[in-house]
Amino acid sequence: MQQFNYQSAQFITSAAQMSQCPIDEGAEVAFCGRSNAGKSSAINTLTRQKKLARTSKTPGRTQLINFFGITETTRLVDLPGYGYAKVPLTLKQYWQTHLDTYFRSRQSLKGVILLTDIRHALKPFDEMMLEWSQTAGLPIHVLLTKADKLARGAQQNALLKVRATLPQHAKVQTFSAPNGQGLETLKGVLDGWLSIDP
């Protein structure tokens, strides 16, 4: 298994629709989650670049699929945040259509990182993502973000609770962007997926 240097990540392009995505070759892993799940913070912590993925105080602002290159043939993909009420319904439906197409047709997609706040139960969006990945035959790894907000015992309780509800193809871990908790575990998952031959 290859070990990747995530600090080398560079922005490639943003896509509003499938035709604008990079050529579908090599390997990529998609990060997805509700708008306030800490997705941008996790990507920035992983890459040690404070501004690679834009963090916004207005959830739902990232409305494009953003691609970041790790090597010439491997990428991280930041998908639009979901579930924020101020995003118009038509835009939500548009995203859903394009993301469904992305998950079903993107040959280079090797796995999905689903981020969700450890303090809250899985939401309908999270469950929809678990179903989507299962239908697409993709592994999915759940990051319970903002773990630093809970004591260690409460973290473990939340982890066990989520683990008990997940389908077989899904794994879960705790994660904290501010203190780097769970970062090495996440890197190991990404290394494994990105090392998969096309």
- List of domains in the chain: 6-194 (3.40.50.300)
The beta strands (E) that lie in the chain are given as: 10-15, 27-33, 65-69, 74-78, 109-117, 140-145, 170-174
What are the tens digits of pLDDT across the range 24-61? 999 999 999 887 888 989 999 999 998 888 755 544 44
Q: How far apart are CA 101 and CA 123, in angstroms?
A: 22
Amino acid 102: pLDDT = 87
Amino acid 183: pLDDT = 98
- Select from 197, 176, 182 the least CA-distant residue to 37: 176
Amino acid 101: pLDDT = 84
Q: pLDDT grade, residue 96 (50/70/90)? A: confident
Share of the chain above pLDDT 90, in %: 61
Which residue do the tokens 């319970």 mark?
144
- Amino acid occupying residue 23: I
Q: pLDDT grade, residue 198 (50/70/90)? A: low
Residue 88 clears pLDDT 70, i.e. is over it: no
Lowest average pLDDT, out of 17-21, 59-63, 127-131, goes to 59-63
What are the tens digits of pLDDT across the range 128-148? 889 888 988 899 999 999 999
Which residue do the tokens 């997609």 mark?
109
Q: pLDDT grade, residue 155 (50/70/90)? A: very high
Amino acid 188: pLDDT = 97
Across the range 176-187, mean pLDDT stands at 97
Q: How far apart are CA 33 and CA 84, in angstroms?
A: 11
pTM of the complete model: 0.91
Amino acid 34: pLDDT = 84
